Amino acid sequence: MRKPLVSVVVCTYNRADLLASCLRSLACQDFDAESFEVIVVDNNSSDETPRIAGACAESDGRFRLVQEAEQGLSHARNRGWREAAGEYIAYIDDDALAYPDWVSEMHAFTTRHPEVCAFGGPYDAFSTSPFPPWLPLEYGSWSLGDIERPIRKGAEWINGTNMVFKRELLAEMGGFSISLGMCGNTVSYGEETRVLLDIQDAGRTVFYVPSMKVRHFLHENKMSLSWLLKASYAVGRCSSLTFNRKRSLLRIVTGVGWSVLYAVKVLVTLQIMPFKWRVYLACVDPSRELGALVESLHFSNRDKK
């Protein structure tokens, strides 16, 4: 096999049932089979992941299985690009499905814009369970519209389940921050946002490519009010590191206070809305601010020791 143009990296942890479908979608790409490879990075899975990924690698020479012992999504993502032979590194989640033209569309974009070093596309949600009627319409799917364009720094992002970087750029940036991102069963975010901001701070442009699509599985447990608020809390806890912006304790406490007042207003004035939707709208900001407060207190106590 000649040197691939694209290296697709699939980082996985204990999702053997979903991983198989993801890998099948990559095996069925309509792009030149010898021009891309797939690297599956197993991050200490205890289920059938090694067997499923290993069998795929044995039957298809484009696929490789790599074991990453350091727990954490950022460790796995960094291992992926370091193992890759392609000029471009494309990331897709282990619970996502690539449309058949996914790699073809990213190649078409790089042909139009060889100067762009980072880009990503939208994703559509799918599930084996019905979506609850109260679930926010934007949850589970993501799009910036139908126009191919640069994203606005600090206001728009591309997402980890559908993002592409030139390998040399990731090497230049040092990859993803190992202080951020999921770690085993611990919920944490921000590593994608941090590297995008670093790229833009370095004067590079990040593009949104609407034609490059994937489908993203929405787990039943993530369609619960408790999960959405837990996720918002986790976003708050990692926000200062994600944005490299330290807020004073006073500002965080003030933010908690204002968000609570807003929550009361939502609960009182939007009574025609489904109850869980109202609770979500009311509590999403306070849970995020509470996460930021807990993290601030954690670092304050650590610095005193």
pLDDT at residue number 301: 52
User: Which strands form 123-126's sheet, in the order they lie side by side?
Assistant: 96-98, 214-217, 123-126
Beta-bridge partners for 7: 37, 89
Beta-bridge partners for 174: none
Task: Please check whether residue 200 lies inside any domain of the structure.
Answer: yes
- Residue 263 structural domain: 224-304
Distance CA 65, CA 147 (A): 36
Task: Please check whether residue 1 lies inside any domain of the structure.
Answer: no
Residue that terminates a domain, selected from 176, 204, 221:
221
Residue that terminates a domain, selected from 204, 221, 238:
221
216-240 mean pLDDT: 93
Residue that terminates a domain, selected from 200, 221, 242:
221
Q: Is the pLDDT of residue 271 over 80?
A: no
Q: Are residues 213 and 92 part of one domain?
A: yes
Q: Is the pLDDT of residue 297 over 60?
A: yes
Q: Is the pLDDT of residue 305 over 50?
A: no
pLDDT at residue number 262: 86
71-90 mean pLDDT: 97
260-279 mean pLDDT: 84
Q: Are residues 114 and 168 part of one domain?
A: yes
Q: Are residues 246 and 175 part of one domain?
A: no
CATH label of the domain that carries residue 89: 3.90.550.10
pLDDT at residue number 300: 55
User: Model's pTM, two decimal places?
Assistant: 0.93
Q: Are residues 217 and 99 part of one domain?
A: yes
Q: What is the pLDDT of residues 126-170, one digit of tens each?
A: 999 999 988 987 788 999 999 999 999 989 999 999 999 999 999
Residue with tokens 């849970």: 287
Q: Is the pLDDT of residue 1 over 60?
A: no
232-252 mean pLDDT: 88
Instruction: Give how many domains the chain has, as a whole number.
Output: 2
Q: Determine whether 159 is exposed, middle or buried from the number of CB atoms within 10 Å of its CB (0-12, 13-18, 19+).
A: middle
pLDDT band at 299 (very low <50, low <70, confident <90, very high): low
pLDDT at residue number 303: 46
Residues 6+ apart with CB under 8 A from 134: 274, 275, 276, 277, 280
AA identity, residue 36: F
Q: Are residues 253 and 205 part of one domain?
A: no
Task: Please check whether residue 24 lies inside any domain of the structure.
Answer: yes
Q: Are residues 186 and 147 part of one domain?
A: yes
pLDDT at residue number 107: 97
Q: Are residues 189 and 138 part of one domain?
A: yes
